[in-house]
Amino acid sequence: VFTSAYFTMTEQEAVEYAKTRLNFFAPDADLECREIGDGNLNYVFKLTDHKYHKSLIIKQAGPVARISDEFKLSPDRNRIEYEILDLQNKLAPGFVPKVFNYDPIMNCTAMEDLSDYTIMRTALMQHKKFPLFADHITTFMVNTLLLTSDVVLVHKEKKELVQKFTNPELCGISEDLVFTEPFYDCPRNEVFEGTREFAKKEIWEDSKMQLETAKLKFDFMNHAQSLLHGDLHTGSIFVKEDSTKVIDPEFAFYGPAGYDVGNVIANLIFAYVNAKYTISEDESRADQLGYLKNTMEDIIDLFKKKFLQAWDEKATEQTARYEGFKEYYLDTVLRDTAAAAGLELCRRIIGLASVKDVTSIEEYSSRAAAEKICLSAGKMFIMDRESFKSGADFVRVLGDCE
C-alpha cells in the first residue's frame, strides 16, 4: 500500500508504515502512535514501542496547509526538509534531529524523537531561561550560514546547492506573508482591533516604509548568499537545559544570511513583550526581561565573533582574505539581520500567522501595548537597518519603543 501512490496517513496507517517500510522497530515491537503536529503545514506522528522503549517521529507533508486550504503545496517539500536536515547534521552536528529515512512516494521523513525537549516558544511563555541558548544557536547559524556561502565553498559546489534547494512554493509563501501582505491593508491580514489604527498610520500609510519593504523583498528573492533555514522562529527550536535542536527546515533556500538571525531576534522580542505584560511580580518580571535582553545581545555578539573566527579558519575564496572584506561582509549581514527582525515583528502582528506569545496576552490594553512595541521596534529595525552593528544596538531598540 505504501509503495504505489501518496496518501495522507492515519495513526494506524503510520504504525503499519513503520512496521513494513522502516527497519527501526523490532518485529515484535508493541507500537502505539499519536499525531502530535501543531504546525501549519504537516502531520507529525510519534511512534512509541512500549516493549523495547524506543520511539520515532515520522513527519509527513500534507497536500494543503492545515491553517488554510488556500495554500496548496507540493508534498515534495518533504524532500527539501530531509536533504537539508541531512546536510545540517554534517555542518552543525548535534544541533538538528538525526534523520533515518526519506520516502519520496509517501512524502515523509523518519527522524529522531526529541520529546524530551520543549518547543522554545512554549518554554519562554512559561518564563523559563536557557543560559546556553545564545551559544548554541550562534554555532548553528555560523556553521549553516557561513559554511554554505561562496566564502567557504568551492563556487561550483555552492551553485549546485543553490539549484538543489530552489524552493519556489515555500519561498512564495514567505514573499507574500512576510514581505507583502503586512505592509498594506490586505484582507488576509489578521489585525487585533486595538492595533488597527496604529498599523494604518505607522505602516500602511507610510510610503517610505513600503519602499524599504520592496527593496528587502527583492533582496530576499535575488541574493543567494547562504543556505537558510528559512523559518527560524522559536516554534522551530527545541530546547532543554543543556541542548538546543533546530527542526522544521522546509522553507530552506539560498537567501540573505541575516534572515535567520533576524528571525531569532524578533521571536525573542515576542517572548519579551509576553514577559513584560504577563508576569505580575516585579522582581521576576525584571529578571526575565533582563535574561531575554542579555540573550539577544549575546546572540549578536557571539554570532559576530564566531563568524569572524570561522572566516579566518575556513575561507577558501582568495578575495575573502583582502583586508577589510570580512568586516564589510559581516556589516551587511548585520544590516540584513536588523531588516529581517523588523519584517518578522511586523508580519506576526499584522499578517496571517500570529504568535502565541502575543495573542495569549488576555488584557485588551496590554495586548495593544505589546503589539505597538513590536511594530515600533519592527519599523526601526527596517528603516535604520544600516546602523545596527552590535548586540547593544539591537537591544537599545527595546528601550526606545517602550
Site residues for ligand ADP per CB under 6 A? 36-42, 44, 57, 59, 97, 111-115, 119, 236, 247-248, 250
Query: Which residue in 8, 243, 332, 354 binds Mg ion (CB under 5 A)?
Result: 354
* Residue 111 site contact among ligand ADP, Mg ion, none (CB < 5 to 8 Å, cut-off depends on kind): ligand ADP
CB atoms under 10 Å from CB of 155, counted, come to 10
Rounded to 10 deg, the angle between the 325-350 and 258-278 helix axes is 50
What residue type is 380 in one-letter code? M
Which among ligand ADP, Mg ion, none contacts residue 354 (Cβ within 5 to 8 A by kind)? Mg ion
Residue nearest to ligand ADP (CB): 39
Q: State the binding string over 196-235 for Mg ion (x if CB under 5 A, else -).
A: ----------------------------------------
CA angle, 306 then 311 then 317, to 5°: 165
The CB density around residue 22, as the number of other CB atoms within 10 Å, is 15
Q: Report the residue number, 71 or 192, with the smaller CB distance to ligand ADP.
A: 71
**From ligand ADP, Mg ion, none, which one binds at residue 115 (CB under 5 to 8 Å depending on kind)?**
ligand ADP
Judged by CB, which is closer to ligand ADP: 118, or 294?
Answer: 118
Backbone angles phi, psi at 286, to 5 degrees: -60, -40
Least Cα distance to 244 among 379, 101, 152, 140 occurs for: 140
Minimum Å gap between C-beta 230 and ligand ADP is: 11
**Using the rule CB under 5 A, is 357 a contact of Mg ion?**
no
- Site map for Mg ion, 182-201, x if CB under 5 A? --------x-----------
Partner whose binding site includes residue 190, from ligand ADP, Mg ion, none (CB under 5 to 8 Å by kind): Mg ion
CB hemisphere CA count around 218 (13 angstroms): 5
- Which of 237, 145, 235, 217 has its CA nearest to residue 177? 217
Binding residue count for Mg ion, defined by CB under 5 A: 5
Binding site partner of 87, from Mg ion, ligand ADP, none, Cβ cut-off 5-8 A by kind: none
Query: In whole angstroms, how close is the CB of 12 to Mg ion at the nearest point?
Result: 24
Cα separation, 88 vs 44, whole angstroms: 20
**From the CB of 118, what's the least distance to ligand ADP, in Å?**
9
In a 13 Å sphere around the CA of 271, the CA atoms on its Cβ side amount to: 29
In whole angstroms, give the CA distance from residue 340 to residue 119: 22
Rg (CA), the chain: 21
**39 scored as a contact of Mg ion (CB under 5 A):** yes
